[in-house]
Homo-oligomer: A and B are copies of this chain.
């Protein structure tokens, strides 16, 4: 019964527990998404804040979803006044999507409020050492999620 060098049962157990926790956390967050802005919408708004004005393709690549899916989200955000489209200066096929002032204010407000439920949970349920451990682990999750 030799162990696989880099993983073995531990990786498998971690995977199972992680998947379970992931599902539950996402459900909890979705249920708690306030302000009338859904998780996906918020994700796109934050992405625009980081990237600046972007095309649908760029957003889709960053979010790891299809351009068609991003467009659906962008349409709803535009209808609510959080983003605006403008024609690309040189390529007539492209549309630049950008935060409106209102969208930017929404993201800022959300950040100041502590990112809602998840920050509350972290401070309520984890001690200082555990919070540090979690902070170290999050970049690893990020690596798992990246393309």
Rounded to whole angstroms, the CA-CA distance of A142 and B13 in the bound complex is 14
What is the number of residues of chain A that contact chain B, defined by CB distance less than 8 Å? 61
Complex contact B135–A10 (CB within 8 A): yes
Q: How many monomers of this chain does the complex have?
A: 2
List residues of chain A with CB under 8 Å of any chain B CB.
4, 6-7, 10-29, 31, 39-40, 43, 46, 63-65, 111, 114-116, 118-119, 121-123, 125-128, 130-146
A13 CB to closest chain B CB (Å) equals: 8
Whose C-beta in chain B lies nearest to the C-beta of A114? Answer: B12
Closest 9 CB pairs of A and B: A137-B137, A7-B123, A24-B145, A15-B119, A21-B141, A15-B115, A15-B118, A25-B145, A21-B142
